[in-house]
Amino acid sequence: QVKELVLDNCRSDDGKIVGLSSDFENLEFLSMINTNLLSVSNLPKLNKLRKLELSDNRISGGLEVLAERTPNLTHLNLSGNKIKDINTLEPLKKLPNLHSLDLFNCEVTMLINYRESVFTLLPQLTYLDGFDADEQEAPDSDPEADGDGLEDEYENGEEDLDEEVIDDEEDEDDDLEGEEEEDGVDDEEEDEEEDGEEDEEDEADDDLPQQGEKRKRNPEDDVEEDAEEEEEDEDD
């Protein structure tokens, strides 16, 4: 039931991968990068294989085996191998579903009119070395692989943080204004209370004689004093 198998950097035995057999009949993806492969002649029958990674090996030909063993191949990566001539790629014409081929760092890429020649030889191809015949880059199936997705999240995160900071500052300003208003009310009440106390003290002071003023005599007091003096004279 294995659908993906990665054997990158495993060492082949005399240019062969030991243990890779037709028992992996459900394989859809097989990667054998840098395994010192000399050819694909020992590749088992893998009818469901769609993508085959063979970069950084020593393959120089024998590609007709791919049409026989992997008839439904859509992606083939032969970057960094010993392919020198356009004619070496001719067997790939028998792979009708092949629409992406990579030959980076192969000597064949140094030939004049290399791209035009390959697209002419393999008309079913859509992308060669990551670009189509009009030099348009192949779409990336995983946008986050180049970090674009992460940058957008980071920017959005920064914007969200900025909005939160602004909201917090506004809330703090509102709290400060509320406190100032409350302080103002308290101050006014305290001033009114102090004014009331001062008024009461002033009224109390008005009832007492001021310093330097004599207490007024009551006429009735004078009459009583005269009567007392007359009684004393009669007694004498």
Confidence of residue 104 (pLDDT cuts 50, 70, 90): very high
How high is the pLDDT of residue 218?
A: 53
Tokens of 229: 């003096």
Q: Assess whether pLDDT exceeds 70 at residue 184.
A: no
Strand ranges, E, within 69-193:
75-77, 100-102, 127-128
Mean pLDDT of the chain: 76
Local confidence band at 213 (pLDDT 50, 70, 90 cut-offs): very low
Span 23-32, average pLDDT: 93
Choose between 142 and 118: higher pLDDT: 118
More confident residue, 167 or 51: 51
Closest C-alpha among 17, 10, 21 to residue 39:
17
Compute φ and ψ for 171, nearest 5 degrees: -65, -40
Query: E strands, 23-85, where?
Result: 29-31, 51-53, 75-77
Structure-model confidence comparison of residues 118 and 159, the more confident one: 118
Most confident of 103-117, 176-190, 208-222: 103-117
Closest C-alpha to 91, from 113, 68, 72: 68
pLDDT of 80 higher than 90: yes
**Residue 139 structure tokens:** 């779409």
All structural domains of the chain, each given as residue ranges with its CATH number in brackets, are: 4-128 (3.80.10.10)
- Please tell me the predicted confidence (pLDDT) of residue 87: 94
Is 80 exceeded by the pLDDT of residue 76?
yes
- The two three-digit tokens of residue 84, written as one number: 């020198």
Q: Which of 4-8, 157-161, 183-187, 210-214 has the highest mean pLDDT?
A: 4-8
Q: 10 pLDDT band (50/70/90 cuts)?
A: confident
What is the structure's pLDDT at 191? 57
